[in-house]
Amino acid sequence: MMKKMQVERTASNGIAAAKAYIHVSPDLSPSDYPVSEKGMEEEAERFFKAKGEVLAELEGMAGENGIFRSYAAIAEDATLEEEILTRMRETNCNVQLAVAGVTGEAAAVFEAMEDEYMKERSADIRDVAKRFMAKLKGCSLSDFSCITEPVILVARDLYPSDVAALNLEYVKGFITQEGGVTSHVSIMAKDAGLPALVGAQGILSMVSENSWICMDGKTGEIVIDPDMAERERFAGKAQEYERRKARYEEAGRLPACTRDGHVVRLCANAGNLEDVKTAMENQAHGIGLFRTEFLYMEKDHFPTEEEQFAIYREAALLSPAELTIRTLDIGGDKALPYFQMENEKNPALGWRAIRISLEKKDLFKTQLRAILRASAFGHVRILLPMLISLGELREAKRVVEECRQELMQEGKVCASDVPIGVMVETPACVLLAEEFAKETDFFSIGTNDLIQYLLAVDRGNGKVAGLYDGFHPAVLRAVGRVIEAGHGEEIPVGMCGELAGDERATGLLIGMGLDEFSMSPGELPRIRYGIQNMSYKQEKAVVKEQAHGASDLA
């Protein structure tokens, strides 16, 4: 009998229809065998042997997908190793129990974090733990080689290594009962153009091996055992999807220019080098926001100047036009495991971003030196997050200059003029935009935070998600004001918050005169296509008309 299901969290666009393949993972639960005092040494040896094998495997896979490089870093982590060995010694337990216990606790710490990105890192730890357990138990991991016909894979959860092992000739999409949209599994599906839905509660009890499934990765619609009419409807959707994709691909070969010749800079946001590569594959003009905190989060120590320099330099070489590096934006809901921060009652209004950088000058200088050195390899720009006063901007600029002088004295090369921009994401910054514009090289509007601070709506709180509105007149008025202030001083104004990748806002923002849009790389084709099909003159007229009736807005 036909059954329907609606999934809220969509992971990767696309339409698929095929037989269900239910994936059951091997039993990797730890065995509870006793260990004598003498046997403890053997257990430690087992651990080191497994570690060596896991590392060799991951390093072999790192060439295919950069994610496995970060997995190797987890497997190699000295703190994790120390904790596992201590657990064995102190509780006299076997290596399997120690690995399962310590990695499970580490994953739980990440899972409890508010930030979606950090939350999903728990899946990475579990994936590495699974590899250890497979080696320790002498069993093999999931094997998908038995899939030899088109299927939609249905599983409780998948690991990134599972997705990497899928043969996309046969696997047409996947649905998991658990998992999140920002997990690496979702990101990998998006990169591979594989339709995917995650968090499909109860899906496993609704399908059997003989089920036929239709899925829509954009709307979250799932139909199990569809009737003829439903099959036809999905075939129509698939055709339309392919047509749209072809149109976007064609649009990608042309510049982001409106019908009447107005050119817009379409850039991408990135959190690592993989994102920069994806951005370039999607013809991004440059990187409008390089979020550096993920680089800090992946390590077990503050990344050194050399470590940061290597990444920024590579990113600068990959990005043909600008590479906008945002200085560290931790605090709020983004924590670093190795950096002790007091619990704050109201972290979004607490010690975060530039406030930390200006207080911890050593950290700030290490990062600025790495950025300045990378500026010799491309068009690097510095972006300062969370400013509320000109004093902060002046002090940050002074430290940049100090770093430049030091580097010159040390004979290290950097560009003579590295633009320094202000991320406009606080109401104070909007209200002082005219003054900020006089002392900065560019603006980038961070709507994700700006909306939460303007509307007093927590961006991560589901209960008030309905009030979090980028189209609220106060937000639009703030955006318009920042653009005007920037243009008044002839500096470019960009936007790097999610609103920049929202196709409903594109016309409005173009009409307001926004110079640069920066968004997730995957959004670029759709937005580019939208721009190519609109008229700048018309959008400007609409905005002008709305401005006249602005008093009605609120």
* Member of 293, 449, 516, 539 binding Mg ion (CB under 5 A): 449
- Pairing of the two strands 322-326 and 287-291: parallel
The window from 120-128, 204-212, 441-449, 480-488 that contacts ligand PEP (CB under 6 A) reads: 441-449
Order the strands of the 15-23 sheet from edge to edge: 3-6, 221-224, 212-216, 15-23, 151-155, 171-176, 196-197, 10-12
Q: Which of 446, 507, 522, 530 binds ligand PEP (CB under 6 A)?
A: 446
Considering the complex, what minimum distance in angstroms separates the CB of residue 293 from ligand PEP?
8
Residue 541 φ/ψ, nearest 5 degrees: -65, -40
Q: Does 496 bind ligand PEP (CB under 6 A)?
A: yes
Least distance (Å) between residue 321 CB and Mg ion: 23
Q: Is residue 448 within the footprint of ligand PEP (CB under 6 A)?
A: yes
8 A C-beta contact, residue 487 and residue 513 = yes
Chain center to CA of 460: 15
Q: Does 333 bind ligand PEP (CB under 6 A)?
A: no
Per CB under 6 A, which region of 6-14, 401-409, 444-452, 540-548 contacts ligand PEP? 444-452
**In terms of DSSP bridges, do strands 196-197 and 10-12 run parallel, antiparallel, or are they unpaired?**
antiparallel
162's contact among Mg ion, ligand PEP, none, with CB below 5 to 8 A by partner kind, is: none
Among 292, 327, 366, 447, binds ligand PEP (CB under 6 A): 447
Q: Binding to ligand PEP by residue 275, rule CB under 6 A?
A: no
Q: Does 507 contact ligand PEP by CB under 6 A?
A: no
Distance of alpha carbon 150 from alpha carbon 173, whole angstroms: 9
Question: From the CB of residue 520, how many other CB atoms can be counted at a distance below 10 Å?
Answer: 19
Name which of Mg ion, ligand PEP, none residue 546 binds, using a CB cut-off of 5 to 8 Å depending on partner kind: none
Shortest Å distance, C-beta 215 to ligand PEP: 29
Query: Whole-angstrom Cα distance, residue 71 to residue 68?
Result: 5
Tokens representing 137?
């138990």
Partner from Mg ion, ligand PEP, none binding residue 120, C-beta < 5-8 Å depending on class: none
H or E, element range at 173: strand 171-176
Q: Which is nearer to Mg ion, 216 or 425 (CB)?
A: 425
- Residue 282 CB, shortest distance to ligand PEP, in Å, is 18
The token pair that represents 328 in the structure block: 């560290």
Give least dist CB 448 to ligand PEP, A.
Answer: 3
291 binds, among Mg ion, ligand PEP, none (CB under 5 to 8 A by kind): ligand PEP
Q: Which residues participate in catalysis according to the annotation?
A: 184, 496
Measured from the CB atom, the residue of 179 and 501 that comes closer to Mg ion is 501
The answer to whether 548 and 525 have CB atoms below 8 angstroms apart is no
Residue count at the site for ligand PEP (CB under 6 A)? 10
Q: What's the token pair of residue 175?
A: 């649905």
Q: 248 by DSSP, 3-state: which?
A: helix
Which residue from 434, 478, 433, 432 is spatially nearest to 452, judged by alpha carbons?
478
**From CA 1, how far away is CA 398, in angstroms rounded?**
70
State the minimum distance, in angstroms, from the CB of residue 425 to ligand PEP. Answer: 5
Within 13 Å, how many C-alpha atoms sit on residue 449's CB side?
A: 24
One of 179, 446, 507, 530 touching Mg ion (CB under 5 A): 446
Angle in degrees, CA 448, 452, 454, rounded to 5: 115
Identify the residue among 57, 124, 449, 539 touching ligand PEP (CB under 6 A). Answer: 449
Q: Per-residue contact track with ligand PEP, 369 to 408, x per CB under 6 A? A: ----------------------------------------
Say how far apart CA 282 and CA 14 lie, in whole Å: 18
What residues numbered 412-441 form the site for Mg ion, per CB under 5 A? 425
Q: Determine the size of the site formed for Mg ion (CB under 5 A).
A: 3
Kindly state the helix (H) or strand (E) to which residue 293 belongs, with its residue range. Answer: helix 293-297
Separation in Å, CA 21 to CA 120, 171, 217? 25, 9, 17
Token code pair at residue 259: 């019908």
Work out which of 162, 425, 516, 523 binds ligand PEP, going by CB under 6 A.
425
Sites of contact with ligand PEP (CB under 6 A)? 289, 291, 329, 425, 446-449, 496-497
Sites of contact with Mg ion (CB under 5 A)? 425, 446, 449
